[in-house]
Structure 1
Amino acid sequence: MALLFPTPHPFSPRHLHGILRLRPPAVAGAPLAHSSSSSVRYPGKEAETKLEKNADADVSLEVLYDDRSGTESVRDYLDASREIIREDGGPPRWFCPIECGQPIQGAPLLLFLPGMDGTGFGLILHHRSLGRAFEVRCLHIPVNDRSQFKELLGLVESSVKNEHMLSPRKPIYLVGDSFGGCLALAVAARNPSIDLVLILVNPASSFGRSPMQPLLPILEALPSNLHVAVPYLLSFAMGDPVKMAMASVADGLPPQQALDELSKSLTALLPRLSDLADIIPKETLIWKLELLKSASSYVNSRLHAIKAEVLVLASGKDNLLPSDDEADRLWSSLKNCRVRYFKGSGHTLLFEDGINLLTVIKGLNMYRRSKQIDFVGDFIPPTISEFKKTFEQDNKLFHVAISPVIMSTLRTGRIVKGLGGIPMEGPVLLVGYHMLMGLELTPIYEAFLQEKRIMLRGMAHPFLFSSIKESSRQELSRFDEMNVFGALPVSPMNLYRLLAKKSFVLLYPGGAREALHRKGEEYKLFWPDQPEFVRMAARFGTTVVPFGVVGEDDILELVFDYDDQKRIPYLRDRIEEINQESVRIRTDVEGEVSNQKLHLPGVLPKLPGRFYYLFGKPIETREMKSILQERENAGSLYVQIKSEIESLIAYLKRKREEDPYRSIIPRSIYQTYWGVESAPTFKP
């Protein structure tokens, strides 16, 4: 659902925004020209008064908030499009979908530029999730509108300039789907001084190499009575109907129930495809193909002028456009371009199951509310749907294989199962041992989110936030997932700001040297000599919780470490190349911890054992003012924390020998026989 607001052209989108945006669910409209429509609906006086009163209200997002992802489906797109395509004689205009609701305070503007359909509802599956993080406005191009490309470009450009003039420090996001991608690229080329973030979904800048080119003379000659078959052919060319139908099937259903729901969804969807004949009638389709030709030609002659931040979302099975090849071309042609490749998806990527646009944006650290990204202030907590996908689907087998045992220590010194010993209020600094390649991370995040609804902010090596080694066929990765769940570059300033905000921070003093250790170095701590974090923790009265973890030697064996690799000339040169391009840290410290050479260890899997975690007794620094005054006292506490972690590791290594279900075989037999998710373990 949406409202269109036809008013005189001088009103910019932001001019109306203060009056209309907070109608629950929030709606804002921004016209770009006159219209004489009689079917437009306006909010009443009572709603307008309420909107004005609450215009500056701050909407915060709690951890694991429900973004209602998956609420809408392709059928909702067809229903909404059928309403909006009624001829009203009006020009192209902006609307704000009702489903978007009220965004968080300071949210940037997101303008959606549609594909060939022109309805503006191409984001309908993403309205609810995007609406919490952005002020979303969508461009509607009426079905009988015959504006030239340069007219549509001028219309979008005018709105972008108005918004930039009113909020010069905020970025403006342009999400361009197919034809809309050409509009976004053209606006960026003509306005290099405006801070734009382009998200191009299978952009039609590749139309010159499209298999649709020969369709034009055929469509022109096609009799009107045969045109009803075109929507069916077009819909199957645009995407996989099964994946579209899956978008409305809830995650986590048993296989048989999921199959039944898919069958119902697909049965309901297929007859509705005839609606495309009304959304894109023959004359409109012919016009849009001509429009695509001129748009593609215009954009390709101006790619060199684009300075904006660009993200290309490319499908590997796009039957309408060569989107995979176009991703290669844009990635090499544009100065600041990244790609995420969906090899199994079709042209209508935003309608398919498993694609959450906001998650993709967050995963690439492309969400910001000012000129530069603020890893602390711009962070949006993960949603319940992101939690389920990551931990209950993608990492479920890993969780089953390691069956983590998590324990904590109360202030009395008693060890209990779970996280009962962890404080509920920050600031809290979790300091521990980094297992090989960070294998311990996923269960820690899952436990804190599931049991305590606490978001951990993990301090990570800056290399993980670099796009240096990405390619034009880069798929979504574990690094993207880490960003969604709170990782940020390790630095004194980031740690300072997190503790000042009373956050829960995960810190590994051993860093990459510990996570990429050599053979025989498992469970060995590599810490700097100087107490890097203690005085800062004490400054904010932080509760420090040391923790130990064991289990890496029960799941894999390190067979090809850094020392082995540097003896091979090709691998040695490769390692040097990677490390020269990445940000160097701890170059000013002495000892083995300064040897932070990044590389990929060679490992062999073992029959899985079990992971064991023990969080030690919380150490309160609120009353330790002497730490701030005397470096010796800070050093003593630093040594105490390190010794505590070594003791926790030693305790776990000793106690795991008492666990009858340490191996996966007896553990699986027990869990199957008793019908439980986790077998018991040793008594603390």
Structure 2
Amino acid sequence: MAAAGACLFPSGLSPALRRRGGAPAAASSSQNPILRSSLTSRCAVSEEQASSASPGTTIPPSRPVSFGEYGRRYEKGASDRSSSTPFMDDVELESGRERLRRFFDQAKDLTRSDGGPPRWFSPLECGSRLEKSPLLLYLPGIDGTGAGLTSHHKKLGKVFDIWCLHIPVMDRTSFPDLVKMVERTVKSENCRSPNRPIYLVGESLGGCLALAVAARNSDIDLLLILANPATSFDKSQIQALLPFLELMPEQLHLSYPFILSLMAGDPSRTFKASTEKGLTPQQTAGELSKNILTMSSYISVLADILPKETLLWKLQMLKSASAYPNLRIHAVKAQTLLLTSGKDWLLPSQAEGARLNEALQRSSIRKFDACGHFLFLEDGIDLITIIKGVGFYRCGKGLDYVSDYLPPTPAEYRNVNESNRWFKEITGPVMLSTLEDGRIIRGLDGIPSKGPVLYVGYHMLLGLELVPLVSGVLNQRNIHLRGIAHPMLFEKYRKGQTLDPQFFDTFRMMGAVPVSGTNLFKLFSSKSHILLYPGGMREALHRKGEEYKLFWPEQSEFVRMAVKFGAKIVPFGTIGEDDFGEVFFDYDDQMKIPYFKNWIHQLTEDNGKVRSNAAGEVANQDVHLPWIRPKVPGRFYFCFGKPIETAGRKQELKDREKCHELYLQVKSEVESCMAYLREKRESDPYRSIFSRWMYRATHNSASEIPTFEP
């Protein structure tokens, strides 16, 4: 049974003790009768506990009690990832204004009972989650309410078991004691489920808390997500204002408008959002005025959350909080994701993020240049989307790229699709497929709908075909291709790399997995649609004059496994790179210049080689970036050959020679598809981008641009 409102329990209490109905002295509220009374009215008591409870006694619940009227209880097993749709369930993102309103509504409700020690609560609105969801402990910033993730609860709650730390307004627990409280919970939950990872999501002060707990518990499987951690508080300008804030009367406390402005973020983003909606100047002015009035109404709530004495206490605590983990940073072994804002007026967060990224052993960093200090309240920031992009979600001891994969939601895919719309408009992709009777048709009706299916093709220069290929198959056939990718997409960003670490986030979100026999086996086992390029990096980073030349290994690499699972093999060809650019400064040229040669060797050493034991051209997998001379854009063409059946051929293909024959057949089919496209495109009246623009100008913008007759 659940009481209404914010139901909380002391954070230092071991879950094992909670289930037995016991409570350690350090977490007991018996020394404060008023606190005990208010806490009793806000906690749920299980039936077996209620039967043995005496009147006026507070009995902590066995799990974090769900919060508020914002959702329904978790029902074990209610969530199922085996749906026919390739997407996760969607949850609409709230605007920045709505996020702020929701935060203050929940913060106000949480602060009604401000007595007692710090405690955990589990948001009721999280809904149903996966059965083996990892635990996520949210550690708040200086507000201490625990409501900072409120706008993310529904999406996070589908894949995490979420507990939020609430620090009551008048609580004066020191930072070291907070560390011990969180540590007790971490150790208890790890003991209860040793194979389940524990996520610590901390912002500002909570980031210091997460690092401190991780430094003291290097033997526990922790994953840290730190949003603008306050480890750089000694460099904050606000320290100089502390004496001034102490002398200022509470009625004239200017810190509340300042903190509120930090929560609201950059006002120019509100103006930009209004103009993007097509609002008139008068309507935009009205929106901004409404925002100002709404913000002013939150000052009184903020004063309740952070009265002068509490605010000064938290700011003083930040001094010790920032120093504590900095002295122990070398002991942090946890996998860490750093999220930093470019317009954090409270802390030098981006500089600090770079420092921590260098100091931590297993870290990744993502920067949000237009965001302020309270990152999770910012418009457009979606924590679960960030986690997917970084590949930071797992349910067990190690990351399983197949079973731990979280597909995009329809909204996430729309954002990816929209961000690449310009490229698809420029390339004007034409997609053809082959029916069972051998006829080639426009569209993708010829590709199989049920997996496992292995798509084997030519890797164009720089992998330019990937965006139109993956999105085209998903849009036309609702089939999600899982690409086998180079390990460099999954490595930690290092100094000297040319690409921003966020460049590959879309590939990871769309399901790319590192190339390995194990991952290929698991994808086949899950009946996936798999995208494989046997030519790999050697093909995608080819030399001058090598366009449309296959660089496949001499020995077959995928045939035996495809036959083992009875998978269909779909060979496909793609052309068009020669209508977009021409390599003029390639690998051979770069290796003649010492500067570029050293740079290539360093990149290759950092990212590792694939097929380092192979012989021939395909073994040369040095990481480099060919220079390309652009051309007036032409058009991309894709042709999927007739699917090759492997079901029922296990005995036949036990012979290595037979496997090699099938391998050569697939390669020949890919070459035939490309030869067909190169011949047929000559008769395409809309091969040029100018002819396609003219067609768009005279026809419905949604209409399909014609091409040659297949």
TM > 0.5: yes
Moved more, 408-417 or 520-529: 408-417
Q: Is the 8 A contact 2:639 2:673 kept in 1?
A: yes
- Output one character per residue of 1:616-653: Cα deviation in whole Å (capped at 9) or x when no partner: 11111102234432112111111111111111111111
Q: Is the 8 A contact 1:80 1:121 kept in 2?
A: yes
Percent sequence identity over aligned pairs: 48
Q: Secondary structure at the match of 1:683?
A: coil
Q: Is the 8 A contact 1:238 1:320 kept in 2?
A: no
Offset at 1:241? 4.5
Offset at 1:205? 1.1
Offset at 1:67? 3.3
Offset at 1:69? 4.1
Q: In the alignment, which residue of structure 2 is the partner of 1:66? A: 89
Q: In the alignment, which residue of structure 1 is the partner of 2:120? A: 94
Specify the code of the residue in structure 2 equivalent to 1:337. Answer: S
Offset at 1:105? 2.2
Q: Secondary structure at the match of 2:663?
A: helix
Offset at 1:563? 1.1
Q: 1:635 to 1:181 in 2, by over 3 A?
A: same
Q: In the alignment, which residue of structure 1 is the partner of 2:202? A: 176
Q: 1:414 to 1:271 in 2, by over 3 A?
A: farther
Q: In the alignment, which residue of structure 1 is the partner of 2:429? A: 404
Q: In the alignment, which residue of structure 1 is the partner of 2:369? A: 343
Q: Secondary structure at the match of 2:405?
A: coil
For residues 325 and 355 of structure 1, what CA distance do their matches in structure 2 show?
20
- Which of the residues 318, 330, 334 maps onto 1:308? 334
- Output one character per residue of 1:457-478: Cα deviation in whole Å (capped at 9) or x when no partner: 1001112211152589995522
Aligned Cα RMSD in Å?
A: 3.0
Q: In the alignment, which residue of structure 2 is the partner of 1:451? A: 476
Q: In the alignment, which residue of structure 2 is the partner of 1:160? A: 186
- Which of the residues 541, 546, 559 maps onto 1:521? 546
Number of aligned residues: 665
Q: Secondary structure at the match of 1:454?
A: coil
For residues 534 and 101 of structure 1, what CA distance do their matches in structure 2 show?
43
For residues 199 and 407 of structure 2, what CA distance do their matches in structure 1 show?
20
Q: Is the 8 A contact 1:3 1:96 kept in 2?
A: no
Q: In the alignment, which residue of structure 1 is the partner of 2:139? A: 113
Offset at 1:15? 8.0
For residues 477 and 257 of structure 1, what CA distance do their matches in structure 2 show?
35
Offset at 1:52? 11
For residues 53 and 329 of structure 1, what CA distance do their matches in structure 2 show?
40
Specify the code of the residue in structure 1 equivalent to 2:290. Answer: T
For residues 45 and 653 of structure 2, what CA distance do their matches in structure 1 show?
58
Q: Is the 8 A contact 2:233 2:347 kept in 1?
A: yes
TM-score of the aligned structures, taking structure 2 as reference length: 0.87
For residues 222 and 282 of structure 2, what CA distance do their matches in structure 1 show?
42
Q: 1:271 to 1:8 in 2, by over 3 A?
A: closer
Offset at 1:540? 0.6
- Which of the residues 520, 527, 552 maps onto 1:495? 520
* Structure 1 position 433 matched with structure 2 position 435: no
Q: How does 1:315-326 map to 2 (within 5 A)?
A: 315-326=341-352
- Output one character per residue of 1:236-271: Cα deviation in whole Å (capped at 9) or x when no partner: 245525477599x79x98544999699648724433
Q: In the alignment, which residue of structure 2 is the partner of 1:423? A: 448
Q: In the alignment, which residue of structure 2 is the partner of 1:23? A: none
Moved more, 95-104 or 624-633: 624-633
Specify the code of the residue in structure 2 equivalent to 1:65. Answer: M
Q: Secondary structure at the match of 1:110?
A: strand
Q: In the alignment, which residue of structure 1 is the partner of 2:557? A: 532
Q: How does 1:350-361 map to 2 (within 5 A)?
A: 350-361=376-387
- Which of the residues 681, 686, 691 maps onto 1:666? 691
* Structure 1 position 299 matched with structure 2 position 320: no
Q: 1:438 to 1:144 in 2, by over 3 A?
A: same
Specify the code of the residue in structure 2 equivalent to 1:504. Answer: H
Q: In the alignment, which residue of structure 2 is the partner of 1:551? A: 576
Q: 1:9 to 1:239 in 2, by over 3 A?
A: closer
TM-score of the aligned structures, taking structure 1 as reference length: 0.91
Q: Is the 8 A contact 1:429 1:545 kept in 2?
A: yes
Q: How does 1:479-490 map to 2 (within 5 A)?
A: 479-490=504-515
Specify the code of the residue in structure 2 equivalent to 1:292. Answer: L
Offset at 1:41? 6.5
Q: 1:307 to 1:472 in 2, by over 3 A?
A: farther
Q: Is the 8 A contact 2:12 2:182 kept in 1?
A: no
Q: 1:512 to 1:2 in 2, by over 3 A?
A: farther
Q: Is the 8 A contact 1:561 1:601 kept in 2?
A: yes
Q: How does 1:255-654 map to 2 (within 5 A)?
A: 255-256=278-279, 264=287, 267-268=290-291, 269-274=294-299, 275-392=301-418, 394-467=419-492, 469=494, 477-654=502-679
Q: Secondary structure at the match of 1:477?
A: helix
Offset at 1:452? 2.6
Q: 1:305 to 1:10 in 2, by over 3 A?
A: closer
Specify the code of the residue in structure 2 equivalent to 1:538. Answer: V
Q: Secondary structure at the match of 2:146?
A: coil
Moved more, 190-199 or 573-582: 573-582
Q: 1:258 to 1:563 in 2, by over 3 A?
A: farther
Specify the code of the residue in structure 2 equivalent to 1:405. Answer: V
Offset at 1:9? 7.7
Q: In the alignment, which residue of structure 2 is the partner of 1:26? A: none
For residues 515 and 289 of structure 2, what CA distance do their matches in structure 1 show?
47
Structure 1 unmatched runs, 5+:
20-30
Q: 1:209 to 1:137 in 2, by over 3 A?
A: same
Q: 1:352 to 1:58 in 2, by over 3 A?
A: closer
Offset at 1:420? 1.2
Q: How does 1:143-158 map to 2 (within 5 A)?
A: 143-158=169-184
Q: Secondary structure at the match of 1:319?
A: coil
Q: 1:395 to 1:10 in 2, by over 3 A?
A: closer
* Structure 1 position 55 matched with structure 2 position 76: yes
Q: How does 1:232-251 map to 2 (within 5 A)?
A: 232-238=257-263, 240-242=265-267
Moved more, 261-270 or 54-63: 261-270
Moved more, 54-63 or 98-107: 54-63
Specify the code of the residue in structure 2 equivalent to 1:192. Answer: S
Q: 1:481 to 1:9 in 2, by over 3 A?
A: closer
- Output one character per residue of 1:479-515: Cα deviation in whole Å (capped at 9) or x when no partner: 1111111111111121112112111110001111100
Q: 1:291 to 1:67 in 2, by over 3 A?
A: farther
* Structure 1 position 224 matched with structure 2 position 250: yes
For residues 473 and 611 of structure 1, what CA distance do their matches in structure 2 show?
27
Offset at 1:379? 0.9
Structure 2 unmatched runs, 5+:
30-35, 48-64, 66-71
Q: 1:528 to 1:616 in 2, by over 3 A?
A: same
Q: Secondary structure at the match of 1:132?
A: coil
